[in-house]
Structure 1
Amino acid sequence: MIESFFGVFALAIVELWAAIPLGIHLKLHPGLLIVAASTGACLGAVIAMFLGNGLRRLMFWRKSKSKEGGRLSQWLAAKGPWAIGLLGPLLIGPVLSAGLAGAIGLPRAFSLALLAAGIVFWTVSFSMLGTFGLAALR
């Protein structure tokens, strides 16, 4: 059982949507599955956020003379953390969402908090759907 927990945790660091079916297949308790997948995905997101921030510094090493951005940068500053944090784990995965947030320079703490909330919400949703869906088929 501990091997299953750490296997799901390790896989969730890289890919959350593969870790949930693995936990269901290994007959991990839904509570443990949610904890393992959520914490693994959050760890992967934190790592990706720091790598994305470093990537942004490498790509945009020159300082822009213009202090104002265009419409897209204003939209990203206002709505970017919410969109990437809550919808990113579902649409493009938590690791890529965190890397994107770090690369475009969104506020790190706020983006990670929203990303963690999105990861937990989608992990609970899909874990329960998978567990109870399989139970209903039997």
Structure 2
Amino acid sequence: MKIASVIGASILELWMAIPLGFALRLHPVVIAIASAFGSIIAAAVVIFLAKSLRNWLMKRMERKNKKQGRMGRIWEKYGVIGLGLASPLLTGAPLGAAIGVSFGAKPVTLFIWMVIGIVVWSGILTAAVAMGMISLTSFV
């Protein structure tokens, strides 16, 4: 049940899932895997299954300037690779996937780079929290 809670929280937001995993006293490796898994599920749903959402976003982005905002600048400078690596940290996987789709990224390519970004940031954030917890316990 604890792991399912971390996966569920990660579907919504990676930043929420990792502290939840530590609060539930899960092992850091389990937290990293579960949080990555949840975010990957969210990205896959948006990229591959949410066709009406994709169509709405494509129409909306046609009316707006693609270069607005941080993700637009990342897209212009680094393309799908930069978006896939940065969005799990900056916007969350579901919104990052939606942004990539709205910018016209190929779904499979976007998914691959989103997975890489999710795994990298899940590992980094989990390790950072684990190190912080170790530091706190050494002071007490």
The TM-score range, normalised by the shorter chain, is: 0.7 to 0.9
RMSD (CA atoms): 2.7
The aligned counterpart of 1:83 is 82
Aligned length: 128
Q: Is the 8 A contact 1:56 1:102 kept in 2?
A: yes
Name the aligned partner's letter for residue 17 of structure 1.
W
The aligned counterpart of 1:50 is 48
Q: Which structure has the bigger radius of gyration?
A: 1
1:24-63, CA deviations, whole angstroms, 9 ceiling, x for partnerless residues? 11110011111100000000011122366533434656xx
Q: Is the 8 A contact 2:88 2:118 kept in 1?
A: yes
The aligned counterpart of 1:127 is 126
Distance 1:25 1:58, change over 3 A: closer
Name the aligned partner's letter for residue 82 of structure 2.
A
Inter-partner Cα distance in structure 1 for 2:113 and 2:16: 22
TM-score in terms of structure 2 length: 0.79
User: Which ranges in structure 1 are unaligned for 5 or more consecutive residues?
Assistant: 65-70
Paired residue secondary structure (1:28): coil
Distance 1:38 1:60, change over 3 A: closer
TM-score in terms of structure 1 length: 0.80
1:58-97, CA deviations, whole angstroms, 9 ceiling, x for partnerless residues? 4656xx9xxxxxx969x95883211210011111111110
Name the aligned partner's letter for residue 110 of structure 1.
T
User: Which ranges in structure 2 are unaligned for 5 or more consecutive residues?
Assistant: none
Percent identity between the two aligned chains: 29
The aligned counterpart of 2:8 is 10
Q: Is the 8 A contact 1:9 1:19 kept in 2?
A: yes
Q: Is the 8 A contact 1:85 1:115 kept in 2?
A: yes
User: Displacement, 1:16?
Assistant: 1.0
Greater RCO (CA < 8 Å, at least 6 residues apart): 1
The aligned counterpart of 1:137 is 136
